[in-house]
Each structure stands twice: as C-alpha cells, then as structure tokens.
Amino acid sequence: MMHRAARVEDWLHFKRERSARKRGYLPTVIPYAGYGSTEWVRILCRVLLAKPEKPEKPARTVHHRWRAERRDAGIRGWRSFTSVPVNDVTVTIEINGSTHRVRADRGGVVDTVVQVKLTPGWHVAQLHTDDAFQPVDAPIFIVAPSVSHGIISDIDDTVMVTTLPRPMLAAWNTFVLDEHARVPTPGMAVLLDRLAATAEGAPMIYLSTGAWNVAPTLTRFLSRNLYPSGALLLTDWGPTHDRWFRSGQDHKRANLRRLAQEFPEIRWILIGDDGQHDEAIYGEFQRDFPGSVETVAIRQLSPGEAVLAGRPAKAAKVVTDTVEEPHDPRWVYGPDGASLARQLAERGLL
C-alpha cells in the first residue's frame, strides 16, 4: 500500500494541476543531459505545467537587455520548487529517426532507457508531450566501446560550496540565494576539465542528492564556471510509496552500481568531499566493484566548512573503514582542486 504521505502529496499535485490548467497552464518538458552507449541511451527529463510565453519585446537599450538577462538567469531556487509536476503523462522521444513513447512517474520525472544505435559523441533527442508547447532538445553523450575511463563527481561542497548538511543554510542556498551568488570550489573546474581532456571520450557524470527541481540552476552554474559538460543524476524529493523521504545515500549507491553494470569495462575516477557520506559510499562501491574504480579524490573541507557541515573539523585525512586497505594508494585527499590535481598527476592520471 502507498505511504500516507505519498497519497497526500498526490492529492496536492492533483489539486494544483487542476487549478493551473484552469488558468491556461500547459505541460512543458524540462530536458536533462543523458548518456548512453552505441546501442542504448538513458533519457532524463521532467514534465511541469507552465504559463504560455508571451512574445518578447525587443530590448530598447543595453540597460533593458541587461535587466532581461538578469531576470532570466538570476533565478532563485524557490521558484523551481513551486512548479506543478504533471502526473503520469506520456512523453514522446524522437531520436535518430525512431520514436518512443514513455510515461512520466508520479512526480513528472522520466528516467528511461531507449534502444537506439548512435555514434560516439554528443547527440540530441527531441522530447514533447501531446499538448506541449513545442519539442525540446535533450543532449545525450554516447560513450565509445573503446573508452576505458570515466569521471563521477559529487556537486555539493565538491564543485560548489553550499554547506548543504546544515538545514538552515541548505534551505537558504536552495530556496533563497540567487544562483549567481553560489561559489565554485577553488580549482575544481580546472581539475575536472583536465581529467576530461586527458581521458578522451570519457563520460562525465555529476551525481548528487539534490532535487531535479534545481537541475536547470545547476546546469547554468556548471556552464558559467567552465565545468565540463556531463549528465546530471539527481533525485526527486518527497515521500515514496513506502517512506516519508527518499534516501540520498541510496540514490548515490544505486546509480554507482548501475553505471558499473552499464559500463563494465570503464574504470571510474570518483570525486567527492569528506563533509557528508562520499567516503563511505565510494568505499563500499570500491569493495563491491573493485575493477570499476581507478582512483578516489576527496576534497577536505576547511575547519569552518566542516563545522557548518555538522561534523567536527578533521585534523588529518581519514579513509573510511569500508575500504579494504586503510591506506589505499588509489585514494587522494586535498583541500582544493589544485592539490588533488598534483596528486593525480603524480599517479599519471593527468
């Protein structure tokens, strides 16, 4: 039986959807970057109700253009959480001349695998609902069979300073703070860009416990701060069929296992931080899939960041006891991207 909280959430979604449709809102597909092999692709998107856009008036002056750009890009996180998801809607996927129809889940999220033959590199799938405004493009990165390395990176406190674990600060960063005020972690963009350039054709995966609601914000942040393009694997907040809230740790574990099974020949470079559970999760993954781990790079939080993250500041680096060897040479620690890059270069990975 579905959890009571999930039933309440579905009822609220139904009421909000009916109200929004009466006001003329229509379904629109929010596309997310996906990935795949030369035989299949993983399509990711979400369907929300949105107000039909009015034709934009041309900006009369540079000042007006600047205000328009700030209005469009300076989106605070709370707006993405007030959108109305469309429950159980059909989404049409058109890619490389083939058409596929799939159903979104109760939160409007589509996460599906489509069988299609594509060449390595970036491709585009077109997504739309039956009554959507117009098709939207979803970028997809196809991994060549010869690729032997890939990169998986956490986001919060790894590539972006968010102090996420502390509830009040997390709420401020998510619901209030302008996206332009989010701070990139020093040196991490250069590190990831160098890793992506060194391992040509390597898939870049950003794996986070963040909600799909903030995916557009995160995508703009990553692009603006020159992080390499890649797929976002986020989660859907709220109750499930059997519990009050989804587990972010389970989300990370499940996607790591899935990637290891989808690409058994790839050895992953795992990047995270020591402020949450990355060490334990990566350690478990290395234990269960030892052939799928090339190295683990952990960003050490500063004493102030560690306190804000809800844990004592670390005086020295610590490797989780889930790793079979306490001083595994494949694990490196550093306070920023430059420090991690030096150590990875010594191991011949850069």
pLDDT tens string 42-83: 999 998 887 766 555 554 554 444 344 444 444 444 455 557
CA dihedral 35, 38, 40, 43 (to 10 degrees): 30
pLDDT at 69: 40
CA dist., res. 309 & res. 325, Å (int): 27
- Which domains occur in the chain, in start order? 4-16+23-52+68-142 (2.60.40), 149-346 (3.40.50.1000)
Phi, psi of 49 (to 5 degrees): -85, 135
Beta strands in 118-266 (DSSP E): 121-129, 136-142, 149-153, 160-161, 183-184, 204-211, 231-235
pLDDT at 73: 41
Please answer whether residues 86 and 64 qualify as being in contact, where contact means their C-beta atoms are separated by less than 8 angstroms. no
Please answer whether residues 234 and 212 qualify as being in contact, where contact means their C-beta atoms are separated by less than 8 angstroms. yes
What pTM was computed for the model?
0.81
pLDDT at 325: 41
pLDDT less than 70: residues of the chain? 1-24, 52-82, 132-133, 162-181, 237-247, 303-327
Q: Please calculate the CA angle 29-220-21 and round it to the nearest 5 degrees.
A: 25
CA dist., res. 269 & res. 153, Å (int): 8
pLDDT at 163: 58
pLDDT at 88: 78
* Partners of residue 45 on adjacent β-strands: 31, 110
Q: What 3-state DSSP class applies to 66?
A: helix
Q: What 3-state DSSP class applies to 204?
A: strand
Q: What is the pLDDT of residues 221-232, one digit of tens each?
A: 999 999 999 999
CA dist., res. 337 & res. 272, Å (int): 11
Q: Dig out the tokens for 350 from the structure.
A: 């850069």
pLDDT at 212: 84
